[in-house]
């Protein structure tokens, strides 16, 4: 805790002070983020650090496994509320679902026995159980780390499909007002991979798709 307290002091002196005007504007004018960023609760994922975004530029939703429960499941609590607010009220222009390598949630889906002693985690991860038949159908020969990476990638794609089920998301996409993207952050290298539907692969963002993170069946 003392480390965190020292951190708040350092923030005030080293970051807030030279950016005081920005924070005053945010306090006065409110937030106008351009991007809704949905990612995992994993402590190794720091959206503003990864993207270089300043305060006020990202509207962030975090949960175990960066999951978007399907719209037809009924009341979904905070995740659906945050998506609706970002898209309908804040009118964000970009929507990103960002998974990551070494995801414990995906490990628990691929190896459910590892979370069997927990009460709430398996209930939440049931929202992404379609990952298992996808892996069985498309990647029957993958094992170990390669299978986990495939699960991470496919999970991002599943959550993108779930997002498109929201009428207000689909409407703004069809109008060309909202761009939806799928990312995977590779923790060990710092690389960010984006799904390119034209080639059916996750490739280094902003660079040619010659070095995919792992093979993904084109959809």
The set of catalytic residues is 40, 42, 44, 100, 103
On whether the CB atoms of residues 204 and 192 are closer than 8 A, the answer is: yes
Q: How far is CA 11 from the centre of its chain?
A: 26
Indicate the burial class of 174 (C-beta count within 10 angstroms; 0-12, 13-18, 19 or more).
exposed
Parallel/antiparallel/unpaired status of strands 201-204 and 192-196 = antiparallel
CA distances from 60 to 83, 110, 216 (A): 10, 26, 26
CA distance 192 to 25: 31
In whole angstroms, give the CA distance from residue 71 to residue 68. 8
Place of tokens 């609706």: 84
Strand 58-63, strand 94-100: pairing? unpaired
């Amino acid at each position: 805790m003392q480390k965190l307290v020292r951190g708040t002091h350092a923030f005030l002196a080293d970051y807030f002070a030279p950016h005081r005007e920005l924070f005053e504007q945010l306090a006065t004018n409110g937030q106008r983020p351009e991007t809704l960023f949905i990612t995992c609760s994993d402590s190794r994922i720091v959206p503003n650090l990864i993207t270089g975004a300043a305060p006020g530029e990202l509207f962030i939703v975090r949960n175990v496994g960066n999951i978007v429960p399907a719209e037809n499941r009924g009341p979904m609590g905070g995740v659906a509320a945050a998506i609706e607010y970002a898209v309908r009220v804040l009118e964000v222009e970009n929507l990103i679902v960002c998974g990551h390598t070494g995801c414990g949630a995906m490990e628990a889906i691929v190896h459910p026995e590892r979370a069997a002693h927990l009460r709430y985690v398996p209930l939440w991860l049931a929202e992404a159980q379609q990952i298992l038949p996808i892996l069985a159908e498309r990647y029957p020969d993958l094992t170990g780390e390669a299978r986990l990476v495939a699960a991470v990638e496919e999970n991002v794609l599943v959550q993108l499909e779930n997002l498109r089920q929201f009428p207000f998301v689909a409407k703004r996409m069809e109008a060309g007002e909202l761009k939806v993207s799928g990312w995977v952050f590779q923790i060990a290298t710092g690389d960010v991979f984006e799904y390119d539907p034209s080639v059916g692969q996750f490739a280094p963002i902003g660079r040619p798709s010659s070095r995919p993170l792992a093979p993904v069946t084109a959809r």
